């Protein structure tokens, strides 16, 4: 925490210095810039090794590079340092935003949840949360209950068909979709909507928006279903965007909606994995400057993924090979 506090104080100090510079005349700023560049050129010529920058400097560099063409100005650090500074600033911001506001439950309550789950194997997390609220007056979130419930004992009988078997048998008829988050140089959150075909692993649709909504999501799914055809199922999670009226509209298109269980990313693993691939192979290596810039980046990468990137599940092969390719 002390390291985070120092980084925040350093960034705030740099922002204040930037604000003070706006009060100076333009000629004074140009002269100051020229003197600093002369000194920097002298240090470079003499081969003086720069001191290791701290976290506050990294975050400040990542923040201020949005205001000018930094590639010609920054010489004491590598471009990868700027990217890491941007990631660090985002983690600090998100850690502050997601700081704990709800006190943890007591050890006695955790033990009671485990005992109720063990003595009532047919009860789920919502049933246990309701029992605690109605009979004991203890308000606990169902997700908190699920966190402390014991795992399913080995050997417990399953249904007639496992989920993985269903996905394999109906792969050519399944679409899966999900949202991911990308962060711009100014810490603006943009949402990436991804739709992938299970059978071919082809990215059928990728779009970017700052304000996702059910109406926009439905329109994009209509375009995918109308262009592709032959799909019978759509897998998505329980995000609030996928409300009941949206699922009803999707069913009206002749597509059966399959909602994954709460906190179960493996139920939509193919879409989750491709989102991870987008991050590891594309977005982790650059900082999008705006929504337009992010769309351009993803458009080029999706073309590479569909037509130029081998996929082990396909033989290996590519999801959408060019026409005439053997």
Which of 323, 324, 322, 326 minimizes the C-alpha distance to 304? Answer: 322
- Whole-angstrom distance, CA of residue 112 vs CA of residue 115: 5
227 pLDDT more than 60:
yes
Mean pLDDT of the chain: 82
Give the per-residue pLDDT at 100: 64
Confidence (pLDDT) at 68: 57
Q: Which residue in 180, 169, 170, 136 sits closest to 276, CA to CA? A: 180
List domains and CATH numbers for the chain: 2-97 (no CATH), 107-148 (no CATH), 163-314 (3.30.420.10)
214 vs 203: CA distance, rounded Å: 21
Question: Residue 270 pLDDT more than 90?
Answer: yes
**Enclosing H/E stretch for 180:** strand 174-183
Asked if the model's pLDDT at residue 174 lies above 90, the reply is yes
Q: What is the CA radius of gyration of the chain?
A: 26
Digit-coded pLDDT (tens) for 25-51: 777 667 667 666 666 666 666 666 666
Give tens-digit pLDDT for 64-85: 666 555 555 555 556 676 677 7
pLDDT-based confidence at residue 159 (cuts at 50, 70, 90)? very low
For residue 205, is pLDDT > 80? yes
**pLDDT of 291:** 94
Assign residue 184 a region (left: φ > 0; alpha: ψ between -120 and 50; beta: otherwise).
beta
The phi and psi torsions of 174 (rounded to 5 degrees) equal -110, 135
Strands 203-209 and 256-259: unpaired
* Helix, strand, coil fractions of the chain, as percent rounded to 5: 55, 10, 35
pLDDT over threshold 90, residue 125:
no
Residue 183 predicted with pLDDT over 50: yes
In this prediction, residues 232-237 reach a mean pLDDT of 95
* Residue 211 pLDDT greater than 90, yes or no: yes
Share of the chain above pLDDT 90, in %: 38
The 10s digit of each residue's pLDDT in 235-263 is 999 998 998 899 999 999 999 999 998 88
């Amino acid at each position: 925490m002390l390291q985070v506090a120092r980084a925040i104080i350093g960034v705030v100090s740099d922002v204040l210095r930037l604000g003070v510079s706006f009060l100076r005349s333009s000629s004074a700023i140009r002269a100051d810039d020229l003197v600093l560049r002369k000194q920097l050129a002298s240090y470079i010529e003499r081969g003086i090794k720069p001191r290791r920058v701290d976290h506050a400097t990294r975050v400040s560099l990542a923040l201020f590079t949005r205001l000018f063409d930094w590639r010609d100005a920054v010489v004491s650090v590598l471009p990868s340092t700027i990217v890491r500074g941007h990631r660090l600033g985002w983690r600090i911001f998100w850690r502050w935003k997601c700081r704990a506001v709800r006190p943890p439950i007591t050890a006695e309550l955790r033990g009671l949840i485990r005992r109720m789950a063990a003595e009532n194997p047919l009860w789920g997390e919502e049933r246990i949360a309701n029992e605690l609220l109605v009979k004991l007056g203890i308000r606990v979130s169902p997700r908190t209950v699920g966190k402390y419930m014991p795992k399913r004992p080995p050997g417990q009988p399953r249904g007639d068909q496992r989920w993985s078997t269903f996905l394999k048998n109906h792969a050519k008829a399944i679409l899966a979709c999900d949202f991911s988050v990308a962060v711009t140089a100014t810490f603006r959150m943009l949402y990436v909507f991804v739709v992938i075909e299970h059978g071919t692993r082809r990215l059928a649709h990728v779009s970017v928006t700052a304000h996702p909504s059910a109406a926009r999501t439905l329109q994009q799914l209509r375009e995918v279903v109308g262009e592709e055809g032959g799909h019978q199922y759509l897998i998505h999670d329980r995000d609030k965007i996928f409300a009941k009226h949206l699922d009803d509209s999707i069913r009206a298109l002749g597509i059966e909606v399959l909602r994954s269980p709460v906190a179960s990313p493996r139920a939509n693993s193919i879409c989750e994995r491709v989102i991870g691939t987008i991050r590891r192979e594309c977005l982790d290596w650059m900082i999008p400057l705006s929504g337009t810039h992010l769309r351009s980046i993803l458009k080029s990468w999706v073309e590479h993924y569909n037509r130029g990137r081998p996929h082990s599940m396909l033989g290996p092969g590519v999801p959408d090979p060019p026409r005439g390719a053997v």
